[in-house]
Chains A and B, each alone.
Chain A
């Protein structure tokens, strides 16, 4: 069965960087892409970008283009999301999501990132 296992919760200070991992299993890793989606407490869903697991090509919305980098490691079937220059309003649950042609069908369990001084 498809599983997306994310890394554990993180506590960071303003200005720090965070790197969240997501290990995929149960399907052909390079046949799909991944999106990263975050959700601040009590707020809606926010798309942070997409990466092709096959080519490693990534696409980011304007809001995150200067602060986020998504990468993947095909030897371990793992994707990574790094967010830099953290602020308090980056406090959120971060999800990795399997994404095929805008169909986001499997979601990781989520990783809580807390940014606090």
Chain B
């Protein structure tokens, strides 16, 4: 099983600034022949199921603001949230098959 590890576990960012979350897999998730990385990101707010933000590393789900972006390849991936808004306070998870442990984003 491929293990996903996120960092940091939590971070506090000022409104309007950038939040960056790292996700590392225990082995490469690059799939041939299309060189696709099947890495997704989710946002979860209290009392709600997770919401898909990004899939296949960098494709934004329909309706997700473009301040959310994903990048990476192989074993290292990043979720960036530009111009952080109050409604972005949540826990964020990366996922291949298994999920990372989650990163809590708060307002500084």
**Which of B11-19, B78-86, B90-98 lies at the interface with chain A?**
B90-98
Q: Flag if A50 contacts B97 (CB, 8 Å).
A: yes
**Which of A9-17, A21-29, A40-48, A75-83 lies at the interface with chain B?**
A40-48
Distance (whole angstroms) from the CB of A40 to the closest CB of chain B: 12
For B96, the chain A residues whose CB sits under 8 A away are 102
A8 contacts the other chain (CB 8 A):
no
A-B contact number at CB 8 A = 55
For B101, the chain A residues whose CB sits under 8 A away are 44
- A contacts with B, residue count (CB < 8 A): 19
Q: Flag if B40 contacts A102 (CB, 8 Å).
A: yes
A34 contacts the other chain (CB 8 A):
no
Q: Flag if A101 contacts B38 (CB, 8 Å).
A: yes
Give CA–CA (A46, B102) in the complex, Å: 11
For B33, the chain A residues whose CB sits under 8 A away are none
- B contacts with A, residue count (CB < 8 A): 22
Cβ < 8 Å to B, chain A residues 45-87: 45-47, 50, 61-63
Most buried by A among B44, B93, B96, B97: B97
For A50, the chain B residues whose CB sits under 8 A away are 97
Q: Flag if A110 contacts B49 (CB, 8 Å).
A: yes
Q: Flag if B38 contacts A45 (CB, 8 Å).
A: no
A104 contacts the other chain (CB 8 A):
yes
Q: Flag if A103 contacts B97 (CB, 8 Å).
A: no
Q: Flag if A102 contacts B52 (CB, 8 Å).
A: no
Give CA–CA (A105, B54) in the complex, Å: 10
Query: Ordered nearest first, which 3 A-B pairs have the shortest CB separation?
Result: A102-B38, A107-B49, A103-B55
List 9 additional A-B contacts (Cβ < 8 Å) besides A44-B102, A107-B49, A109-B49: A44-B91, A44-B100, A45-B93, A50-B97, A63-B1, A102-B56, A102-B95, A104-B52, A105-B55
Sample of 20 A–B contacts (CB below 8 Å): A37-B99, A44-B100, A45-B102, A46-B98, A47-B98, A47-B99, A50-B97, A61-B1, A61-B97, A62-B1, A95-B49, A102-B38, A102-B96, A103-B52, A104-B40, A104-B50, A104-B95, A105-B61, A107-B49, A108-B49
